Amino acid sequence: MKQILLIAAFTFICLAGYSQATPPKDTTKFWTIHGQNTFLINQSSFSNWAAGGVNSVAANIVLDYDFNYKKGVWSWDNKAIAGYGLSKQNGTGWRKNDDRIILNSLLGRQASKYWLYTFYMNFQTQFTKGYNYDALGNRTLISAPFAPANLTFGPGFAYKKSDNFRINISPAAARITIVQNDSLSSIGSFGVTPGKKSLFEFGASLDAYYKVNLVENISFENILKLYSNYLKTPGNIYMDYTANIFMKVNKLVTVNAGLELISDPNTKVPVQSNGVTEYHSLLQVKQIFGAGVTYKF
Show me where the domains of the chain are located: 2-296
Q: Say yes or no to pLDDT of 3 above 70.
A: no
- What is the identity of the amino acid at 212? V
Q: Which of 88-102, 110-124, 229-243 has the lowest mean pLDDT?
A: 88-102
Average pLDDT, the chain: 86
**21 — pLDDT class (breaks 50, 70, 90):** very low
Q: Which of 16-25, 187-196, 204-213 has the lowest mean pLDDT?
A: 16-25
Q: Is 5 helix (H, G, I), strand (E, B) or coil?
A: helix
Q: Say yes or no to pLDDT of 17 above 90.
A: no
Q: Say yes or no to pLDDT of 133 above 90.
A: no
Cα–Cα–Cα angle for 199, 278, 95, nearest 5°? 80
- How many whole angstroms separate alpha carbon 116 and alpha carbon 153? 16
User: Mean pLDDT over residues 266-287, rounded?
Assistant: 74
C-alpha dist (Å) from residue 147 to 124, 138, 241, 256: 10, 21, 21, 29
Cα–Cα–Cα angle for 198, 203, 205, nearest 5°? 105
So what's the pLDDT on residue 29? 76
**48 — pLDDT class (breaks 50, 70, 90):** low
Q: Which of 83-92, 140-149, 191-200, 236-245 has the lowest mean pLDDT?
A: 83-92
Specify which residues 131 forms β-bridges with.
Answer: 141
Which helix (H) or strand (E) covers residue 19, if one does?
helix 2-20
| 161 φ/ψ sector (left φ>0, alpha ψ -120 to 50, else beta) | alpha
Higher-confidence residue: 53 or 164? 164
Q: Is 184 helix (H, G, I), strand (E, B) or coil?
A: helix
**Quick one: how far is CA 74 from the chain centroid?**
27
Q: Is 3 helix (H, G, I), strand (E, B) or coil?
A: helix
What is the assigned CATH class of domain 2-296?
mainly beta
Contact 111, 157 (CB under 8 A): yes
DSSP letter, residue 183: H
- What is the identity of the amino acid at 192? V
**49 — pLDDT class (breaks 50, 70, 90):** low
DSSP letter, residue 272: E
**141 — pLDDT class (breaks 50, 70, 90):** very high
pTM: 0.84
So what's the pLDDT on residue 123? 97
Comparing CA positions, the residue from 129, 126, 180, 118 lying closest to residue 155 is 118
Contact 285, 258 (CB under 8 A): no
User: Mean pLDDT over residues 213-225, rounded?
Assistant: 94
Other Cβ atoms closer than 10 A to 74: 13
Contact 266, 199 (CB under 8 A): yes
User: Mean pLDDT over residues 175-200, rounded?
Assistant: 95
Q: Which of 27-41, 228-242, 248-262 has the lowest mean pLDDT?
A: 27-41
So what's the pLDDT on residue 266? 87
Contact 180, 150 (CB under 8 A): no
